[in-house]
Amino acid sequence: MSTPDLNLLVTLDVLLAEGSVARAAQRLRLSPSAMSRALARLREATGDPLLVRAGRGLVPTPRALELREQVSQLVQDAEAVLRPVQALDLKRLVRTFTLRTSEGFVENFAADLIARISEEAPGVRLRFVHKPDKDSTSLRDGSVDLETGVVGKTAGPEVRTQALFRDRFIGVVRAGHPLSQGEITPSRYAAGRHISVSRRGLDKGPIDEALMALELEREIVTIVAGFSTALALARTTDLIASVPERHTANLRAGMHSFALGLSLPTFTVAMLWHPRLDADLAHRWLRGCLREVCAQQEG
């Protein structure tokens, strides 16, 4: 079996990016005829036409679309191997990182993270964007550099993850609420009027399942999309909010928090990123900053 010509990967990457033999030839400083011969070799190697004529232009085949991201990643990885590693000068670094997080994460951790970033790298700016779901497309296409949250089944298999902290659900009420005094039993908790938190508007969740196992049911008075909204309502009413403990530490100041006393598993909040940024020194530094900020707030 003959050894494949790995130089063809670079050619294929440029051809798929440009969608034109002429433009690909110009980018690689080859003649159009040399690029046409390279395309013929690629077609023979892959067993697919890759680019086919449509009118005056060329369009990629389904196989070419399937290969595009994989080939691009292979070429980037190869370039990274052959590129000398340079020391990271944080004081001169100018870059904007986009972080996709929940509002609660921003409200609880962003102030410390921004202070840390500003001190070490004043030219770095953080852009926080809303996280309506757990889809990892934005990490793949590069529109988001880093994401936080509980790793879901919809996360791409190639996405890298690292744990930040473990969390659990607790109950929270306003100061002076009846539940701020005495032992909190599952029945006392269930007897109150509750706020449910669900981005999808669902009125049942793990807490309700745990109560059902004890033949208890809580009254859901209202459903909101975020934990900060739930806490804001609980602060000024007799409603009970059930929120992640670590995730909402700063938001619960002046309120009474209590353990739920239910059989609920803890969960891990992690950061997620695409492997193309794994070796990026600035991105690696950012990940370290986020890890340390979360660790400092533990307990």
pLDDT along the chain (299 residues), means of 10: 77 88 89 90 90 85 87 83 77 94 88 96 94 78 90 69 93 96 94 91 88 95 92 96 91 94 90 91 95 81
Q: Report the pLDDT value the prediction gives residue 154, as an integer from 0 to 100.
A: 55
Quick one: pLDDT at residue 179?
95
Report which secondary-structure segment, H or E, holds 10.
helix 7-18
pLDDT of amino acid 221: 96
d(CA 101, CA 229): 16
Q: Taking the mean position of all CA atoms in its chain, how far away is CA 54?
A: 38
Q: Give Cβ neighbours of residue 184 (< 8 Å, ≥ 6 apart).
A: 171, 258, 259, 260, 261
CATH class as words, domain 7-82: mainly alpha
- The torsion defined by the Cα of 122, 127, 128 and 134, in degrees rounded to 10, comes to -120
Architecture category of domain 90-164+269-296 in CATH: 3-Layer(aba) Sandwich (3.40)
Predicted local confidence at residue 155, as pLDDT: 58
CA distance 57 to 59: 7
pLDDT at 84: 66
Residues 132, 119: Cα–Cα separation, whole Å: 31
- CA gap 175, 171 in Å, rounded: 13
- Nearest CA among 66, 61, 74, 6 for reference residue 38: 6
65 CB neighbour count, 10 Å cutoff? 12
Domain ranges within the chain, ordered by starting residue = 7-82, 90-164+269-296, 169-265
Per the CB < 8 A criterion, the answer to whether 93 and 131 are in contact is no
Identical topology for domains 7-82 and 169-265: no
Task: Mention every residue, 6+ apart, whose C-beta is less than 8 A from residue 153.
Answer: 134
pTM assigned to the model:
0.65
Q: Say whether domain 169-265 belongs to CATH 3.40.190.10.
A: yes
